Chains A and B, each alone.
Chain A
Amino acid sequence: MSIEFKNIVKTYDQSPVLESINAEIANGEFFAIVGPSGCGKSTLLRMLAGLIDVTDGVIKIDGQTVNNVPPKDRKLTMVFQDYALFPFLTVEENIAFGLKARKMPETEISQRVTRAVDMVGLADFRSRKPKDLSGGQRQRIALARAIASDAKICLMDEPLSNLDAQLRDRMRTEIRALQRKLQLTLIYVTHDQIEAMTMADHIMVLNDHHVQQIDTPLGIYNHPANEFVANFFGSPQINFLSGSYKEHEREIVIDTKLRLPIQNQLTKENYLVGIRPNQLDFQIAKNNGGNASLTDLTNLGSQTLLTARLDNGQQLRLTKSEQISMPINQRIDLHLKGQAFIFDPEKKNLAAVSVGVDHG
């Protein structure tokens, strides 16, 4: 089932929470809504569920306007951050609760419950209470309940944020597999950019009441619409440096040796340059030359994290996918090997992309 947000506005006591939200979500799509806490992503999800009223705008499910349709008739299911399990019911009673309340015949309920617990691997725990199960198992009860409801739209509100890192990794894969198998249209709210990047077909980035960007994970990574998106996605975080635009050379100059050629004609003097740590490279400088000195170095085994200070005082991080040992304060020659994003200093949006020069 497809979903459409049209000019959605939400205000609480006159203060805006969301402004002019527009998005289209295709049938069977895994759609992640990402943003920092307080950006209104849970509010948007709850408006889609019908738990919160829309101040203005239209929500459509399968082409039908659902603004005035009560939650139970929107044919969707929801997995909550705290799992919303009934502590006094067993696993199977929890899964069957909604079906029973809807007076579904017993045989069908038990069929659906069995199918759901099998699918999430809880068959051996059917008659346990949630409090006797681990965090990951509770999470699976919530998933099983969503499966048993047979709704084709599933909303998830930060479902993995209460799990430890390893389990989160595993559940990411499982949820993705489940979504594909059941062909769910899944709307997934998270503040974790890695979850969004690894799971979603499309990502909506929310910040400051507005949609910042809607794109595929790689689209967002490779073409961030603005400074915020560039900063939010990518680990380790992107470097922001200030550079000045030289009209004659068609270059952004960060320092004498870090010059970024650009194609576009720009209008301002100073720009904010975003460079991802893996887009930078360096050589060890000869005779104490170079344009930067190393300030920190962390070997992670598969890659090395380095911090360096340019001679003009700007700090930056870079990564290399090899093991490096080098003394602190080593003089280096830093250069761009890949992309750099040029952001407008006032509007903060992407003004140009520079593809670095190979200094090889």
Chain B
Amino acid sequence: MDESKNIIHETRIPTLAENTGLFKKTKMRAQRTNRRYALLFLGPSILLLAVFIFYPMLKTIYLSLFLTNGSGHNTVFAGLGNYAALLSSPGYLASLMSTLIYVVGVWALTLALGLILANAASVKVRASSFFRTIFSSTMGVSISVSAIFWLFIFNPSIGILNQIAAFLHLPLLNWATDPNLAMISVIISTVWMNLGFAFLVLFSAFQSLPLSLYEETAIEGVGPVYRFFHVTIPLISPTLFFVSIITFIEAFKSFGLIDLMTAGGPNNATNLLVYHIYQNAFLNGNYSQASAESVILTIIIALLTFLQFRYLERKVSY
């Protein structure tokens, strides 16, 4: 008898008071416990992000609004003064310009060469696994080693480029030290460095292309060029877009090769934004301006990445 009473009590529709009062309270309690667990699990990564990302980011923005002395202490609040000074400084604008040239050059060449190599390595021939290893091997080379190695290649007297040029009776060039050529040299070595990653990721996309689609195009009589642009590129477009974004951002962030090969020279020809920031902060002790530069760089990268997502991603077929 008691039991049946209980069941009736449990299953009847709760009154409005119960619905809004008592029941809500237990629901809220459950939610609060959930949130506590969520915090517990997220805690470690939130802590790490806070110390190494959020704090420096906020501090950078904060610093960019002040003037600092040589030891890095804030002196006077400057508002957007640092930004205004930068945007009217010819040196900074030149650096911005060369960065854009560098980024576009590195981005376009890496993608184009990555595609060509990945396509070539997908052809099944006897030595294809050998070429696959070679093409992706730059992923295992450190920046300092490759900088030295490229400086040897570019060396005006003993470098192999000029030796070949001499052999072919072509003019000898000062690859890394001529202000007009340094940018090209730096782009070439960066592309070489990035190519291993781009190749490997694109190659894996080529590997997963369905054979039947290519058999279909053979029967339909689709030419190789039409097939590449109308079948292969759309099929690998998600991967291509990923590589594009990564290469683009990495190019903006290039520092090591520049520092070791040209140190921003000759005559500031390869003084890219990140290197400019480094010089301002750690050579000139101008922390506030360097902070302002960092903020601008972040905004530029975010904006251009956003634009890529906006316009390029439309053409991606998932």
Contact = CB atoms under 8 A, between A and B. Distances in A.
Contacts of A88: 234-235, 237, 317
A46 B216 CA distance: 11
A81 B223 CA distance: 23
Contacts of A72: 218-221
B215 A101 contact: no
B220 A84 contact: no
A51 B218 contact: yes
Contacts of A232: none
Interface in B200-223: 210, 212-213, 215-223
Given A78-B216, A80-B212, A81-B212, A87 B222 contact: no
A51 B215 contact: yes
Q: Give the interface residue-count category, chain A.
A: 20 to 34
B210 A84 contact: yes
Interface string A31-63: 000000000000000100111000000000000
A98 B220 contact: yes
A88 B213 CA distance: 12
Contact of B212 (A74, A76, A82, A149): A82
A84 B226 CA distance: 17
B70 to A, nearest CB: 58
A77 interface: yes
B297 interface: no
A87 B215 CA distance: 16
A137 B198 CA distance: 37
A86 B231 contact: yes
Contacts, number: 65
B126 to A, nearest CB: 13
Given A72-B218, A97-B220, A149-B220, A84 B212 contact: yes
B221 A80 contact: no
Given A51-B215, A87-B317, A88-B234, A82 B220 contact: no
A49 to B, nearest CB: 6
Interface string B214-246: 011111111100100011001101000000000
Given A86-B213, A88-B235, A101-B226, A77 B219 contact: yes
Interface in B172-223: 210, 212-213, 215-223
A98 B215 contact: no
B222 A101 contact: yes
A84 B221 contact: no
Contacts of A84: 210, 212-213, 215-216
A49 B215 contact: yes
Q: Give me the 10 closest cross-chain CB pairs, A-B, nearest first.
A: A72-B221, A98-B220, A88-B317, A84-B212, A84-B216, A101-B222, A80-B212, A88-B234, A71-B218, A71-B219
Interface of B: 210, 212-213, 215-223, 226, 230-231, 234-235, 237, 317
